[in-house]
Amino acid sequence: MHIDRRAFLATLGSAAVVEAMSPEARADALEHYMIAQLDKPAAPPAQPLVVRRGAGALFGGPSPSGQRPELTALAAMPERPTLVDFIRFRGTPGIGNHILQSANDALRKGESEETVLACLLHDFVLNLMKPDHGWWGAQLMEPYVPEKVSWAIRHHQALRFYPDPSVGYEYPELYVRIFGKDYVPAPYIKASYEYARKHKWYMEARMITVHDLYAFEPGMKVAIDPFVDIIGRHFKQPKEGLGFDGSPVAHMWRTLNYPDNPL
């Protein structure tokens, strides 16, 4: 995907605002910007921000350009909703396109089913919450997926910033252009990377970042159908439905189910 550096920076606000953002916040803004480009309306209205940028897309959280998704009526969810129901009915289109493209790239290139699942789930949580989305996303999925899948989702956040030529993952040229040559990740990101680098599951997280590079194609639509069986084999769908199984993260799924509840 071509990124217009000027257009992207302009979306962040004044030079002083950009300067004040941490590099992580800028990197997250870039990822969200790219996702937003996948689902760009013809004439994006410039609206003043009325919620924090970190609000999830399902709640109208703005893209870095300040575009806010149109909040249309949501489809009713089944009584016992499954992961596929959440992806279909509670995932916003830009994020949905990105994660499906990512999983599709992994599938096409012959990755294991667990890696395909990790790619499919890696950014789903952006519908709920944006800051530290690797950690939030891992927690959301943890009770239901193989441990290495949630581990990979957690660590993809830090690995984005560190090259690994062994699998063709270079430090994104785009990051050099946008964040400057001197960017140094925050200590907690660096620590997460260093921990992951030595871990036996390092490659599980690394491959999320590799397939992510091929998951920003505007206009490319990938159906969820090819992934339904993979989900069935590796995602422990609770019989009560996600949100109603008493798990430590059930409330997070319920928040996605009922985003209009006032309290």
Given the rule CB under 5 A, which residues bind Fe ion?
123, 212
Nearer to Fe ion among residue 114 and residue 123 (C-beta): 123
Q: How far is the CB of 35 from Fe ion (least distance, A)?
A: 7
Q: How far is the CB of 233 from Fe ion (least distance, A)?
A: 23
Nearer to Fe ion among residue 132 and residue 240 (C-beta): 132
Q: 102 by DSSP, 3-state: which?
A: helix
Q: How far is the CB of 254 from Fe ion (least distance, A)?
A: 23
- Residues 6 or more apart whose CB falls under 8 angstroms from that of 24 comprise 185, 186, 189
Nearer to Fe ion among residue 39 and residue 212 (C-beta): 212
Nearer to Fe ion among residue 41 and residue 131 (C-beta): 131
Q: Can you say how many angstroms the Cα of residue 217 is from the centroid of all Cα atoms in its chain?
A: 15
DSSP alpha helix (H) spans, the chain:
5-12, 15-20, 23-38, 83-89, 93-108, 113-121, 133-141, 147-159, 173-179, 187-197, 202-212, 225-234, 250-257
Nearer to Fe ion among residue 27 and residue 77 (C-beta): 27
CA 169 vs CA 105, 208, 234: distances in Å: 15, 11, 27
CA 210/CA 170 separation, integer angstroms: 9
Q: 176 by DSSP, 3-state: which?
A: helix
Q: How far is the CB of 232 from Fe ion (least distance, A)?
A: 23
Beta bridge partners of 55: 129
- Residues 6 or more apart whose CB falls under 8 angstroms from that of 11 comprise 29, 33, 63, 64, 65, 66
The alpha carbons of the chain give a radius of gyration, in whole angstroms, of 18
Nearer to Fe ion among residue 183 and residue 214 (C-beta): 214
Q: How far is the CB of 212 from Fe ion (least distance, A)?
A: 4
Q: How far is the CB of 156 from Fe ion (least distance, A)?
A: 6
Of residues 224, 82, 208, 91, the one with CA closest to residue 151: 208
